[in-house]
Chains A and B, each alone.
Chain A
Amino acid sequence: MSDHVVVSTRKGLFTIERDSGDWRISGADFLGDNVTLFFHDQRSGHDYAALNHGHFGAKLHRRSNGRWEEIATPAYPLKPEGLVDRDGWGKDIPYSLINIFSLEAGGPEEDGLLWCGTIPGGLFRSRDHGGTWELIRALWDHPKRQQWSGGGTDWPAIHSICVDPRDSAIVRIGISCGGVWETRDGGETWACRADGMFAAFLPPEMSRDPNLQDPHCLVQSPSAPDRLWAQHHNGIFRSDDGSASWREIVDVPPSSFGFAVAVHPREPDTAWFAPAIKDERRIPVDGKLVVTRTRDGGRTFDVLREGLPQSHAYDVVYRHAMAIDESGDRLAFATTTGGLYLTEDQGDHWREISHTLPPAHAVRFAP
């Protein structure tokens, strides 16, 4: 069981601690600053926080022995003079870090190795706990990268990184909008793996192009790693073959649109989603905040609402803002309107921890 929840918000990083059965906000770091992600590295014990200052750019901080320090930020290489590098819609791609959009550990045997996904579409790796970063050139230089585009952001965003628990050289990433990409050799070569996904908002001749897909969030079952779940712009998709193919999950009440997804650590058929009205409105259906849960791989869903606001709730749960702990019983999510909700029974009952936090970007459990 994890007794700490860490919430990254527009105005700081908040730690919520379980104490005698209650959950209380016990700490606030970077108060006033825009904290976009938090990540705890179980191998080293380090904490990492990504910040994005409106004026001064994206930064990374690392906490060890209780003290935060700013560390190196992934940086894009000098753009060769005269090079034309445009996204899928013909817009010039900036060769500059816009935002840090995902941060994950390498395998348990890869001490100090971190993966970092960014906007405008570069994937970076550190081998020294974030002391230095290298751009994964094989992906950046892949000609298909120029077909990617922004989805909810101006530029392509690598938002999900799944390191295969069977082999750390196998890494899958989710890109808005660039589908799902996989390396099987630690980043040396890459291939798009989004067959079966479709984008109804594109013309028919483009809608099933794997490289144009907009998965909002991608998670991999730790206990059955060939099972992946994707909350996609167009609905919920599932893969049973390690992302080689995907199929849509249909008839999901009250909506299959959303951003976040969580999978149970030991039950690959059990997953949670945070639905909203698609597509331009992006508010809870009927103003009722709910979480959906499937226990049978997506054939049926429970709509979980006990303890959640059921009147005039306009919360949206961003893609990184729902988390599950290692027990599989505790989940937490935070919202764009500053709500933080937590369950200790897989979503049957929720408790409101706060409704006055700043708008939330991300939620993680921590030891």
Chain B
Amino acid sequence: MARIVFTANLARHIDCPADEAEGATVREALEAVFRTNERLRGYVLDDQSALRRHMAIVVDGKPLRDRVTLSDPISAASAIYVLQALSGG
């Protein structure tokens, strides 16, 4: 299962420890996490389920390419980091 790590700054607002999830894409892995932590979805994704403008995701050391549908492929060994983009201040 892929490992998903959320920025520690999120923990001030919502409980979001590092998690593991199955899926073929970043979307599938995140959705698996959101199924057990629905409120977290709105902190990471906007109303259209795209990545928030000032959030960033790094997959295996590379920035997410598809910020709209989050279709970037992952493997069971992937590490997904959900971070704040510095553009957000």
Residues of A within 8 A of B (CB): 53-57, 59, 70, 73, 75-79, 94-97
Known pairs A55-B85, A57-B42; list 17 more (Cβ under 8 Å). A54-B54, A54-B88, A54-B89, A55-B55, A55-B84, A55-B89, A56-B13, A56-B44, A57-B46, A57-B52, A59-B13, A70-B13, A75-B42, A76-B48, A78-B48, A97-B46, A97-B47
Query: Residues of B within 8 Å of A, CB-based: how many?
Result: 18
Q: Does B65 contact A (CB under 8 A)?
A: no
| Binary contact readout B52-81 vs A (1 if CB under 8 angstroms, 0 otherwise) | 101100000000000000000000000000
Selected contact of B46 from candidates A54, A59, A70, A96, CB within 8 Å: A96
Residues of B within 8 A of A (CB): 9-10, 13, 39, 42-44, 46-48, 50, 52, 54-55, 84-85, 88-89
Q: Decide: B46 and A56 in contact? CB cutoff 8 A.
A: no
Selected contact of B52 from candidates A55, A59, A76, CB within 8 Å: A55
Taking the closest CB of chain B, its distance from the CB of A36, in whole angstroms, is 15
Taking the closest CB of chain B, its distance from the CB of A13, in whole angstroms, is 15
How many angstroms between the C-alpha atoms of A105 and B3 in the bound complex? 44
Selected contact of A79 from candidates B48, B55, B84, CB within 8 Å: B48
Among the interface residues A54, A59, A75, A79, which one has the most CB atoms of the partner chain B within 10 A? A54
Dominant secondary structure at the A interface: loop
How many angstroms between the C-alpha atoms of A96 and B50 in the bound complex? 10
Question: Known contacts A56-B13, A70-B39: does B54 contact A95 (CB below 8 Å)?
Answer: no
When C-beta atoms are compared, the residue in chain B nearest to A97 turns out to be B47
| Residues of B close to A96: CB separation below 8 A | 46-48, 50
Selected contact of B54 from candidates A55, A59, A73, A79, CB within 8 Å: A55
| Residues of B close to A56: CB separation below 8 A | 10, 13, 42-44, 52, 55
Taking the closest CB of chain A, its distance from the CB of B71, in whole angstroms, is 16
| Residues of A close to B85: CB separation below 8 A | 55
| Residues of B close to A75: CB separation below 8 A | 42, 47
Residue pairs across A and B with Cβ atoms less than 8 A apart, 9 shown, are A57-B43, A57-B52, A59-B13, A59-B42, A76-B47, A77-B47, A79-B48, A96-B47, A96-B50
When C-beta atoms are compared, the residue in chain A nearest to B89 turns out to be A54
Q: Decide: B88 and A55 in contact? CB cutoff 8 A.
A: yes
When C-beta atoms are compared, the residue in chain A nearest to B10 turns out to be A56
| Residues of B close to A77: CB separation below 8 A | 47
| Residues of B close to A79: CB separation below 8 A | 48
Selected contact of A95 from candidates B9, B47, B52, CB within 8 Å: B47
Taking the closest CB of chain A, its distance from the CB of B79, in whole angstroms, is 21
Taking the closest CB of chain A, its distance from the CB of B34, in whole angstroms, is 14
| Residues of B close to A97: CB separation below 8 A | 46-47
Among the interface residues A56, A57, A59, A97, which one has the most CB atoms of the partner chain B within 10 A? A56
How many angstroms between the C-alpha atoms of A77 and B44 in the bound complex? 17
How many angstroms between the C-alpha atoms of A54 and B86 in the bound complex? 10
Q: Decide: A53 and B13 in contact? CB cutoff 8 A.
A: yes
| Residues of B close to A54: CB separation below 8 A | 54, 88-89
Give 5 closest A-B pairs by Cβ, nearest first: A96-B47, A55-B88, A54-B88, A96-B46, A56-B43
| Residues of A close to B54: CB separation below 8 A | 54-55
| Residues of A close to B43: CB separation below 8 A | 53, 56-57
